[in-house]
Amino acid sequence: MTAKNTWDLKSALEIYSRPFNDLMFEAQSVHRIHHNANTIQASTLLSIKTGACPEDCAYCPQSARYDTGLEREKLLPIEEVREAAKAAKELGATRFCMGAAWRNPTDKNLESVIEMIKVVQEEKLETCVTLGMLSDAQSKRLASVGLDYYNHNLDTSPEFYGEIITTRDYQDRIDTLDHVRQAGINVCSGGILGLGESREQRVGLLMQLANMDPVPESVPINLLVQVEGTPLFGTDELDPFEFVRTIATARIMMPGTYVRLSAGREDMDESLQALCFLAGANSIFYGEKLLTTSNPSYQQDMRLLERLGISIEGAGGH
């Protein structure tokens, strides 16, 4: 099935539920048609404003509603952003992502972030921000300064969403993505696995993403990082093969998209990460922190990629 905007749950579930070897073979075959099988794109993520978010996302330590011991921080000084961007470039990252714990930015907030975007652009890195919900005018403002990507995850399927978040609805997320797309900014949107969702709900998330027109250029697939104090702490852990199946199905349903192996990598052993790359994941975050949760060290990542014969796209293998 290749036509856009026509995936239904039955056809997507059929792919997801195939014998594992058949699924992996097809995913890798599709991957090789659209991508170099032995390179990945590397991004770095910096929290530019941490904590005190008014939303109630049940997985998130940055919510003001949960006691997770997280220190609230103000917007980072611009020179700290500049130094972080320089460091990311030196390690081979080609995209620099900045995240702020807001429900939506004020116009004043947005102007501060735009100054940060300009600083990152000076380092010749692609720019990405995640700031919460955006209006049409705010999206156009970001487009006017050349923002490359806007990240706004759907998190899960529409059917399960209300179990995870009540302070905004699914359509709010779709509306923001529509504003971003209409402004001409590339879309980065994915979700989180291991929230307690069913297999059908995991596939429902992929269906939502694959039926967007156009499909997101970047789809991060996160594994829940359980943080004590959040409502989802203590949730049953996801079967690792279900995670790999999701990566593989995403690759088949969205052939040209960069599928990012995102949060949760620190809890994955090297064999599981290698399976994810085989299934079609071709983007990672590297650096020792993802907003507020830890991530494998740069040295660990480089050792693993070297053993697998995988190089960093656009960075000469370094």
Span of 28-37, 96-105, 171-180, 269-278 with lowest mean pLDDT: 96-105
* Per-residue pLDDT reduced to its tens digit, 170-189: 888 899 999 999 999 999 99
What confidence score (pLDDT) does residue 54 get? 64
| Structure confidence by residue, pLDDT tens digits, 90-124 | 888 888 989 887 777 888 888 888 999 999 999 99
Q: Is the pLDDT of residue 200 over 80?
A: yes
Confidence at residue 109, expressed as pLDDT on a 0 to 100 scale: 84
Confidence bin at 235 (pLDDT 50/70/90): confident
Assign 23 a pLDDT band (cuts: 50, 70, 90): very high
pLDDT of residue 285: 80
Poorest-pLDDT segment among 29-33, 54-58, 310-314: 54-58
Question: Closest by alpha carbon to 63, among 302, 291, 313?
Answer: 291
Say if residues 103 and 168 touch (Cβ distance below 8 Å): yes
For 115, phi then psi, to 5°, come to -60, -35
Looking at residue 1, its pLDDT comes to 41
Task: Please check the confidence at residue 238 and state whether its pLDDT lies above 60.
Answer: yes
CA distance 59 to 49: 18
Minimum mean pLDDT range among 24-28, 32-36, 161-165, 311-315: 311-315
Q: Please enumerate in sequence order all residues whose Cβ is within 8 A of that of 48, keeping only pairs 6 or more positions apart, or say none.
A: 75, 76, 81, 98, 99, 100, 113, 116
pLDDT tens string 289-301:
444 445 567 788 8
pLDDT exceeds 50 at position 126: yes
- Report in angstroms the alpha-carbon separations of 80 from 48, 73, 122: 9, 13, 14
pLDDT in tens, 38-69: 999 888 888 887 666 667 676 766 665 555 55
Give pLDDT, residue 2.
Answer: 44
Strand partners, 262: none
How sure is the predictor about 288, in pLDDT bands with cuts at 50, 70 and 90? low
Q: Name the pLDDT band for 133 (thresholds 50, 70, 90).
A: confident
pTM of the model: 0.85
Q: What percent of the chain has pLDDT over 90?
A: 46
How much of the chain, in percent, has pLDDT values that exceed 70? Answer: 85
3-state secondary structure the chain: CCCCCCCCHHHHHHHHCCCHHHHHHHHHHHHHHHCCCCEEEEEEEEEEECCCECCCCCCCCCECCCCCCCCCCCCCCHHHHHHHHHHHHHCCCCEEEEEECCCCCCHHHHHHHHHHHHHHHHCCCEEEEECCCCCHHHHHHHHHCCCCEEECCCECCHHHHCCCCCCCCHHHHHHHHHHHHHCCCEEECCEEECCCCCHHHHHHHHHHHHCCCCCCCEEEEEECCCCCCCCCCCCCCCCHHHHHHHHHHHHHHCCCCEEEECCCHHHCCHHHHHHHHHCCCCEEECCCEECCEECCCHHHHHHHHHHHCCEECCCCCC
Model confidence at 169, pLDDT cuts 50, 70, 90, reads confident
Q: How far apart are CA 172 and CA 180, in angstroms?
A: 13
Catalytic residues: 53, 57, 60, 97, 128, 188, 260
